[in-house]
Amino acid sequence: MNTALPNGLRVLDLFSCQGGAGMGYHQAGFDVTGVDLAPQPRYPLHFVQADALDYLRSYGAEFDFIHASPPCQRYTLAQRIQGREHPDLIAPVRAALEATGRPWVIENVEEAAGELRAPVTLCAAAFGMRTYRHRLFETGGGFTFTPPRHRVHTTPLTKMGRPRAAGHFAHYVGNFSGVQEARDDMGVPWMNRDGIRECIPPAYTEWIGTALLASRLAVAA
C-alpha cells in the first residue's frame, strides 16, 4: 500500500462505513476525517460518530474537499424486491454540499443513476482488480475528473456466494466466500465481510484525490 507525502489538504469522508473511500484519499496524501452515524471501529483514520448530514452542514466548509456516499439501499434491486423503504439522501446531501462552496463528489451505485447528475463510472477491473464493481461519482464545486479507460467486460464473473472459479472474476457481495482474497484484491486488509461487500475500493478515491491535487496545482500555476 503506497501513500503519498502529506499535501496539507483536508478531506471529509461522509457516510464513511469502514473507510474504503477515506483510505484512497489518505493514499493520495490527504488528511481524512470520516463521519458515520454508526460506530466504525475498523475505520483506519480519524473518525467522528455523528449524523453525516448534520456534520456536513455544521463543519463542511472547514474542509478542502468533501466525499459523500449516502446509503445506497434505496436504489438497489434487492431492497425494492423486498418492498423496503429507505430515505432519499442524495438531493439533501447535494444541497448541503453546494452550500459549503467546496469541491465535492457524491458516490453511489449504478441503480442511483437517475438521481445523479452526469455521473462518472469507475470499475474495479480498470484498476487491475479481479472483480467488476461499478460505482458512480457526481462531481461539483468546480471539480471534475477523467476516469481510467473502462474496458469491455470479457472475463466471466462467478455467481454471488460461490468461490471464484479458475479464470473468473469474483462477485464480492452478499454472503460471499473468500474474505481474505477480497481483502487482497481490493486493497482493504482491515475490513471484514460486511465492509467489503459495499465498500469503495481505495484505488477509486486515490485516483480522484490525485486528480483533485493536480487541478489545484494547475490553478495555482
**CATH, residue 146:** 3.40.50.150
| pLDDT at position 2 | 77
Angstrom distance (rounded) from CA 185 to CA 7: 27
Is residue 175 in some structural domain? no
Q: In this structure, is residue 161 part of a structural domain? A: no
On whether residue 77 sits in a domain, the answer given is yes
- Asked if residue 209 belongs to a domain, the reply is yes
pLDDT tens sequence across 130-185: 999 999 999 999 999 999 999 899 999 998 777 888 999 999 998 888 899 999 99
**pLDDT exceeds 70 at position 74:** no
Q: Is 85 inside a domain boundary?
A: yes
Q: Domain span at residue 122?
A: 10-151+200-220
98 within domain boundaries: yes
Is residue 64 included in any domain, yes or no? Answer: yes
Handedness of CA 195, 198, 202, 208 (dihedral sign): negative
How many domains does the structure of the chain reveal? 1
At 81, the pLDDT band (50, 70, 90 cuts) reads: very low
Closest CA to 122 of 60, 187, 202, 220: 202
CB atoms within 10 A of CB 26: 25
Cα–Cα dist 18/196, whole Å: 8
**∠55-74-175 over CA atoms, to 5°?**
100
Mean pLDDT of the chain: 92
In a domain, 192, yes or no: no
